Amino acid sequence: MSAKHTKRLAPMGRRSDPWTVPVRVGGILLLTSAVGAGVSALVGGCGTGSLFNPAFVNPLVGGQVPVTPGPGADFVLARVLNTTDQVLEFIVTIEREVLVLDDQGNFQVDEATGTFITRPQRETVRLTTAPGGNTSELGVLFPCDESPVTQVGLGENLLPTDRAVFVGGEGAAGATGFGVPAGDLNPLLLSEGNFNCGDTVIFRAFRSTGQAGGVGLETFLLPGSEQPSIFRGPDTFVNLQRFIESQVREDEP
């Protein structure tokens, strides 16, 4: 894949415009309010033209509340934002490397290299959003400490032909609306430096008369490495990680 410099806080991931960014299994579903007021202000209540404009973001990332899990917490945050006038269901998928176990439950080791054997595993979360207000956005946290997240994208198989969003969401008896393919919206790859553990990836749907279903898609990245380490408000992601770790310790014999 050829590389093209892409600014952070800018749309990225089009297949027709190849890019790279220089520089516990299971997702945790978040409602808007669970991420903190700063995130809500960042992705809500602003016009399309000012979305993730650095001049708009800087006051928010200057120490109020975190907008990315990193650098203090080991999560990848996938956020979806619906700026259309229709109900949309986003199909968010990540791929991670998980350790392979033998029949006795022990980690398998490569005899030639002495390293643990891993295999790729996908996880898909379907997020239904409605136009306007807090219902227009949702987020899901994917732990990335023990099992690295290697890809983040839309569509169950992270392929161009996959349905990335469904216009109208999920209907009665499991029927879904019109499926908009991922098309030229690339999944982000850890190996290419497109994202890192601790980053926030935002998938935005917007009205576009020239696209299937009248919906266009784009991706934004907020790097956790550029996040302040001290906040005047609660450090929500670090607090969540500490809570999860405390629950794991309580479950240990």
Domain assignment of residue 129, yes or no: yes
Q: Residue 44: its pLDDT value, please?
A: 36
And the tokens for 10? 């800018």
Residue 69: per-residue pLDDT: 85
Give the number of domains in the chain: 1
Structural domain includes residue 133: yes
* Measured CA distances, 114 to 85, 101, 108, 110 (Å): 54, 15, 10, 5
| 234 part of a folded domain | yes
Residue 248's pLDDT is 59
Burial of 194 (0-12, 13-18, 19+ CB in 10 A): buried
- Position 230 in a domain: yes
- Distance, in Å, from the CA atom of 240 to the CA atom of 149, rounded to the nearest integer, reads 19
pLDDT attached to residue 240: 73
Report pLDDT for 15. 40
C-alpha to C-alpha distance for 199 and 226, rounded to whole angstroms: 9
Nearest CA to 155 out of 244, 93, 218 is that of 93
Q: Which helix (H) or strand (E) holds 49?
A: none
pTM confidence score:
0.73
Residue 10 lies in a domain: no
Each residue's pLDDT tens digit in the chain (253 positions)? 333 323 344 344 444 332 222 224 456 665 543 333 333 333 333 332 223 333 334 344 445 567 788 887 889 999 999 999 999 999 999 999 988 888 888 889 888 888 888 899 999 999 999 998 878 888 898 999 888 999 999 999 999 999 999 998 764 455 568 899 999 999 999 999 999 999 999 999 999 988 878 999 999 998 888 877 666 666 777 777 787 777 755 555 5
Determine contact, residues 204/215, Cβ cutoff 8 Å: no
Q: What was the pLDDT predicted at 76?
A: 92
Q: What is the pLDDT of residue 67?
A: 77
Indicate whether 7 belongs to any domain.
no
pLDDT of residue 103: 86
Establish if 96 belongs to a structural domain.
no
- Asked whether 250 and 96 are in contact (CB, 8 A), the reply is no
Q: How many CB atoms lie within 10 A of CB 178?
A: 14
> Which residue type does 200 have?
T
Beta carbons within 8 Å of 87's beta carbon, 6+ residues apart: 128, 129, 130, 131, 167, 168, 169, 177
Which residue range(s) make up the domain with 193? 28-91+125-251
Contact 176, 130 (CB under 8 A): no
Residue 107 forms part of a structural domain: no
Residue bearing tokens 């007021």:
37
